[in-house]
Amino acid sequence: MKNWSFVAMEHYGLILNRTYLISIKEGKIEGKICRGLTAAHVTFGDPLTKYATGILAVSGDLENSRSYIEKKKLKQTSSANFSIPLSEIKSVEFNPNRKLGMGDYPHDGRVFIEVFRKKREFIILGNQNGKVIADRLRSASALEG
């Protein structure tokens, strides 16, 4: 199986989120935090909110999933990073609907991965094909199982 990757966001807590570079390689799915907190830039309201959301907003071509990656974050270790053997994936589902709260950030639905009674939801950022990602994950996990 050829190594491949995609960029996705996972909501964490009530308003927090984690952006991952997720790689499939050597029989595992590995997620590495590739960005800090992210917010949609607000251009109205009080100056503090505008300033804070401006700092947390992604700059660059939002359609390009690589715009969401901060290279310095990839070099850091984080307790939020994960590594799961593909053989432990119980199911992979794709939901094409937009995720509420994503503002103007382009995304192509959500991929749900179930491992040991826990389901994780990954929002597919930028110009990536969520259905293709889900199909490839399903295929990769079936090959490993």
Nearest Cα residue to 67 out of 105, 99, 29: 105
Contacts of 120 (CB under 8 A, 6+ apart): 10, 112, 113, 114
Distance of alpha carbon 143 from alpha carbon 87, whole angstroms: 8
- pLDDT value at residue 22: 98
Task: Note the pLDDT of residue 145.
Answer: 45
Instruction: State which residues form the domain around 58.
Output: 4-144
One-letter amino acid of 114: E
Q: How many domains are contained in the chain?
A: 1
- At 129, list the tokens: 């094909």
| DSSP assignment string, 75-135 | TS--TT-EEEEGGGEEEEEEE-SPPTT-TT--EEEEEEEEETTEEEEEEEESS--HHHHHH
What does the alpha-carbon distance between residue 49 and residue 39 come to, in Å, rounded to a whole number?
11
**pLDDT on residue 76:** 92
φ/ψ (deg, to 5) at 141: -70, -35
Helix, strand, coil shares of the chain as percentages rounded to 5?
Answer: 25, 40, 35
pTM: predicted TM-score of the whole model, two decimal places: 0.89
Q: Profile the chain (145 residues) by mean pLDDT over runs of 10 residues.
A: 92 81 96 89 82 85 93 93 95 92 87 93 96 95 62
For residue 25, give the amino acid letter.
K
pLDDT at 4: 96
Write the CATH number for 31: 2.30.29.30
